[in-house]
Amino acid sequence: IFHLFLHTRKKMGPLLLLIICQCAISSVKTHSVSKPNIILLMADDLGIGDLGCYGNRTLRTPNIDRLAEEGVTLTQHLAASPLCTPSRAAFLTGRYPIRSGMAAFSRVGVFLFSASSGGLPSEEITFSKLLKQQGYATALIGKWHLGMNCESSNDFCHHPLSHGFDYFYGLPVTNLRDCKPGQGSVFLKGVQKDLVIPIQITGIAFVSLAIVQYIGLLKVPFQALGYFLLAITISLVVLIFFFYYFRHLNCFLMRDHQIIQQPLSYENLTQRLTKEAMQFIERNTDRPFLLVLTYLHVHTALYASENFKGKSKHGLYGDAVEEMDWSVGHVLDVLEKHNLSEKTLVYFTSDQGAHVEEISSAGEVHGGYNGIYKGGKSTNWEGGIRVPGLLRWPGVVQAGASIDEPTSNMDIFPTIVKLADAQLPSDRVIDGHDLLPLLQGKVTQSKHEFLFHYCNAYLNAVRWHPGNSESVWKVFFFTPNFSPEDSNGCFDSHVCFCHGGFITHHDPPLLFDLSRDPEEKVPLTPETESRFHEILGVVHQAVDNHTRSLHAVPNQLSWDNLLWKPWLQLCCSSLFQSCYCDSESGGS
């Protein structure tokens, strides 16, 4: 441009210089938003009120807060589901989980076993698949929780490497209390509620039959009694065996398709995940990369390394949050070290709100803080779905800006697909919207006029943000029954459920205006809101339109797909050797 200017300045004058300079600036800006590196950081069960940038004054999160200072803070950022598995499916595909079959009609809404046959279908298009096609190096480090195998223990049909990731280091399922000795069991309440009574009835029936047989009132074939006793005994042995070895069978660490630590050790686990993330970045400084780092923090079982244990003001939960913040800082530091900060979009969020019912056996609070918002994980009250949303990209998105428009974790899909110069799929509905115009201040309103909030596979609530209004209407068709009634969660069952006697249906539906009542304290009525019936009419029409866009798909969270199948069990040695190996610590 400089030489061209010297050659033509006498003939063309200043006008040409202005045109050339504008073209040069435009060219630089276009290049800057094309194929950036992408780092997506996802916490597990983190409350929006746990971070300094969202108002917390006692937990120390300087590195996560730095993302807010140098980027955009979304204050109405929403998880597509209040549970891990469906939320992560929506995040990866940009689609409501009901569209991919990743929403349950049964009580259990997530995968609990490594040898379940359900998972994210291979027909689904993830952002990692599309970015890989565009030449990106892709890695998922941390928690997966979207299935593993379909028909055999090595088909890996649902594995991260089958969904567009070049590299995987992490947990195929999730972190549970059962994974850490001494932390109790997530199954205990369920076993007490659902199995104790049937076992008692079976025992009474068997004893009664034996007595009747003994006194001669009824002739029961001895062989039948024997088979009955054998069946009960085998069932109990299998159940006891499974839960006794649960940690070995379901809590393990993988690198790509290979198990490298079974059972999982929590020692320096966050440091290991962080080191893997940093090494992936350093291996790909000369090509665009996608790094999805999904922390185990702060899902229970809680853990923290010696450098963080006992250092926060909020017990082990606070220690875990502060250790995660340390990890985020190291990821940001390695970007700076290699001059990649201005070439990298960094996103931080949580898969859903804090699990408020998490209380340890010793009475210590192991769940997070959802700020002013009602409820938590497993509910579509704001505390369950309103999550941190931080995006930093120096020189491209606004620094220090706060946006109070409805956005979704599904929006990441179209945002980064477009940035990678890939094409959005045209053969399916994509429910997310490109965030970049909002992040750059080119538009002031979200493209989400409506957002549909599902409790498992059941449409629970609808959010409506009219284009000509500041109001954000939220309509509930049913709400969970908190237990105890005056509490902020379902403490008797550990999580809230989505159907039957666990919920209360509302006719007419409950209506809130979140712009005036973000705490969802006072439902509106025809007497307090003149447009009550008009608003419900608009929402019902939106539901009809949305429902017509849905198509029947196989249910990946059916009981058949959820249950443990021994032939799908991954084991690095053998079941007779308790599935033990440890190449992480130098063991066999």
Q: Measured on CA atoms in the order 521, 525, 527, 533, is the torsion positive or negative?
A: positive
Please answer whether residues 38 and 291 qualify as being in contact, where contact means their C-beta atoms are separated by less than 8 angstroms: yes
Report the pLDDT averaged over residues 498-503: 94
Residue 157 has pLDDT above 60, yes or no: yes
The model's pTM is 0.90
What pLDDT does residue 126 have? 98
Provide, rounded to the nearest whole percent, the portion of the chain with pLDDT above 70.
90
pLDDT value at residue 241? 73
Classify residue 521 by burial, with Cβ atoms within 10 Å: 0-12, 13-18, 19+.
exposed
pLDDT of residue 217: 73
Mean pLDDT across 275-281: 98
Structure-token pair, residue 105: 């009609």
Domains 37-176+255-445+554-577 and 187-243 agree in fold: no
| Mean of pLDDT over the chain | 91
First to last CA, the chain: 63
Q: How far apart are CA 254 and CA 167, in angstroms?
A: 10
Using the predicted structure, report yes or no on whether residue 462 has a pLDDT greater than 80. yes
The H or E element containing residue 382 is helix 382-385
**454 vs 227: CA distance, rounded Å:** 45
pLDDT category at 30 given cuts 50, 70, 90 is very low
Tokens of residue 208, six digits: 């009664």
* Whole-number pLDDT of residue 195: 63
Residues 6+ apart with CB under 8 A from 466: 449, 473
Catalytic residues: 84, 145
According to DSSP H, which parts of 496-585 are helical?
532-548, 559-562
CB 413 within 8 A of CB 292: no
Q: Using 50, 70 and 90 to split pLDDT, how confident is the model at 576?
A: low
| Short-list 402, 374, 431, CA closest to 80 | 431
- CA 239 to chain CA centroid, Å, is 29
Least confident interval from 192-206, 247-261, 312-326, 465-479: 192-206
* pLDDT value of residue 207: 77
Residue 554 CB: number of other CB atoms within 10 A? 11
Whether the pLDDT of residue 62 is over 90: the answer is yes
Q: Note the pLDDT of residue 33.
A: 67
- Closest residue by Cα to residue 565 from 247, 112, 109, 179: 112
Of residues 256 and 363, the one with the higher pLDDT is: 256
CA gap 41, 85 in Å, rounded: 16
Which is higher by pLDDT, 489 or 195? 489
Residue spans of the domains in the chain: they are: 37-176+255-445+554-577, 187-243
Selected residue with higher pLDDT from 588 and 123 = 123
pLDDT(28) > 60: no
* 10 has pLDDT over 50: no
**Cα 307 from Cα 270, distance rounded (Å):** 11
For the stretch 378-410, pLDDT in tens is: 999 999 999 999 999 999 999 999 999 999 999
Superfamily of domain 37-176+255-445+554-577, CATH level 4? Alkaline Phosphatase, subunit A (3.40.720.10)
Percent of the chain with pLDDT over 90: 80
Residue keyed to tokens 């009542």:
517
Is residue 129 a contact partner of residue 160, using CB atoms and an 8 Å limit?
no
In the CATH scheme, what architecture does the domain 187-243 have? Orthogonal Bundle (1.10)
Confidence band (pLDDT; 50, 70, 90) for 12? very low
User: How do residues 333-380 score in pLDDT, each as one tens digit?
Assistant: 999 999 999 999 999 999 999 999 999 888 899 999 999 999 999 999
Q: Strands across the sheet with 137-143, in order?
A: 401-403, 72-74, 389-392, 344-350, 37-43, 289-294, 137-143, 167-171, 253-255, 258-262, 581-582
The answer on pLDDT for 552 being more than 60 is yes
